[in-house]
């Protein structure tokens, strides 16, 4: 019953991941490859967290 109002951490991380991908695209289009690499690395870390949560959920 109390789990009804609990937020899903995977959905939160997926939203953050999508936002980072959009940010990475915009940074790449501006021509700053170093910043693009940093944002992509950050998004990959979030993706690893998502995959870890999904593996633990099964």
SS3 string of 3-50? HHHCCCHHHHHHHHHHHHHHHHHHHHHHCCHHHHHHHHHHHHHHHHHH
What pTM did the predictor assign? 0.85
Residue 58: pLDDT over 80: no
Given this model, what pLDDT does residue 2 score?
63
Range of the domain at 32: 2-57
For 28-55, what is each residue's pLDDT tens digit?
999 999 999 999 999 999 999 999 999 9
User: Total domain count for the chain?
Assistant: 1
């Amino acid at each position: 019953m109390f789990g009804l109002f609990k937020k899903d951490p995977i959905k939160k991380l997926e939203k953050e991941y999508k936002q980072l991908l959009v940010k990475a695209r915009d940074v790449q289009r501006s021509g700053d490859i170093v910043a693009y690499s940093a944002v992509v690395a950050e998004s990959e870390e979030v993706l690893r967290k998502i995959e870890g949560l999904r593996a633990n959920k099964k």
